[in-house]
Amino acid sequence: MKAIEWRNNRLIILDQTLLPLEEKYLELNDYHAVAEAIKTLRIRGAPSIGVAAAYGIALGALSIETRYCSEFLPLYQQISAEIASTRPTAKNLFMAVERMDHVVASGTDVLQVKISLVDEALKIHREEEEASRKISTFGADLIQPGWTVLTHCNAGPLATAGYGTALGVIIAAHQQNKGISAFATETRPLLQGARLTALELKEAGVPFKLITDSMAGHFMKKGVINAVVVGADRIARNGDTANKIGTYSLAVLALAHGIPFYVAAPSSTFDKSIESGNDIVIEERKPEEITYLRGQRIAPENIDVANPAFDVTPANLIAAFITENGIIRRGE
């Protein structure tokens, strides 16, 4: 399975909302469709969102029919703004938008700018792929033989447009014949762990157990979990980390049981412009994601629902960050 691919000036994505029941690829030929795919989680995971955003902007720019910069720029700005408005939390999306905007700001010829935008999008994709491979290698060094590692949500190839971050660490350790195993949380409300992480672990041949989110503390207390590795959507300057809702709870549980809690993320996820997690915008998603399951209502009508997509884990709960540049341990 390949989450995202640029082919003949078209963006091909794997519709992740249909997995694991159906493997369906979508061909997107305009930026509106890319924006909608990001909003509806057909493409998801912070690094993959960033890559898709870059390709979406390139698609939009290619469709602008003018050779005059004065006409091109305002139309481009509309495209960039729409892509940037899709999801508020993942830093990788804004990193991609900023890089694409810089390409436009540096150009003087519309045709060359269009070519450069496609090149920049491809470069962002290559960089994320390479970063995920390095993260997986560095992270595998932290995993001891025979360990059982818990991961939350989905941070594998589907989420990273590459090898994977948190899940890449687990897969790499498995491929090094360390005899490790994994626990994957189902990850309510959209079940990315049950639908996607379980699929990727199974395909990689990693021994694992799928559990509900609320079972993590039970298995930590029993002593069967040796480490927790998760991905990230945005990391503040002080190390506070936004990731899928439920991550903070796992970090607290890990601390209570003396289990190392690791965050695996590329440098594109680090946001030096914000001081702490208090400055991270947390996306609030539709209540139907909680009150419905596969189109079937599972909760009473006319009730209040809170559905934050992410929470923030304080830096003091994180033992180390695993990046493409190496391991950053707490306090470094």
pLDDT at 31: 97
Annotation: CATH topology of 4-133: Four Helix Bundle (Hemerythrin (Met), subunit A) (1.20.120)
Give the mean pLDDT per block of 10 residues along the chain (332 residues): 94 98 96 98 97 98 95 98 97 97 96 97 97 98 98 97 96 98 98 98 98 98 98 98 98 98 97 97 97 95 98 98 96 73
Q: Give the pLDDT confidence score for residue 330 in this predicted structure.
A: 84
* pTM, 2 dp: 0.96
**Domain 138-329 grouped into CATH 3.30.420.40:** no
Residue ranges for the binding site?
A: 44-46, 87, 192, 243-244
In angstroms, rounded to a whole number, what is the distance separating the alpha carbons of residues 265 and 138?
11
In this structure, the chain runs to a length of: 332
HEC letters along the chain = CCCEEEECCEEEEECCCCCCCCCCEEEECCHHHHHHHHHCCCCCCHHHHHHHHHHHHHHHHHCCCCCCHHHHHHHHHHHHHHHHCCCCCCHHHHHHHHHHHHHHHHCCCHHHHHHHHHHHHHHHHHHHHHHHHHHHHHHHCCCCCCCEEEECCCCCHHHHCCCCCHHHHHHHHHHCCCCCEEEEECCCCCCHHHHHHHHHHHHHCCCEEEECHHHHHHHHHCCCCCEEEECCCEECCCCCEEEECCHHHHHHHHHHCCCCEEEECCHHHECCCCCCHHHCCCCECCCHHHHEECCEECCCCCCCCCCECEEEECHHHCCEEEECCEEEECCC
Each domain of the chain, given as residue ranges in start order, spans 4-133, 138-329
Residue 262: its pLDDT value, please?
98
Known binding-site residue numbers for substrate: 44-46, 87, 192, 243-244
Please identify every residue annotated as catalytic.
Answer: 233
pLDDT at 331: 75
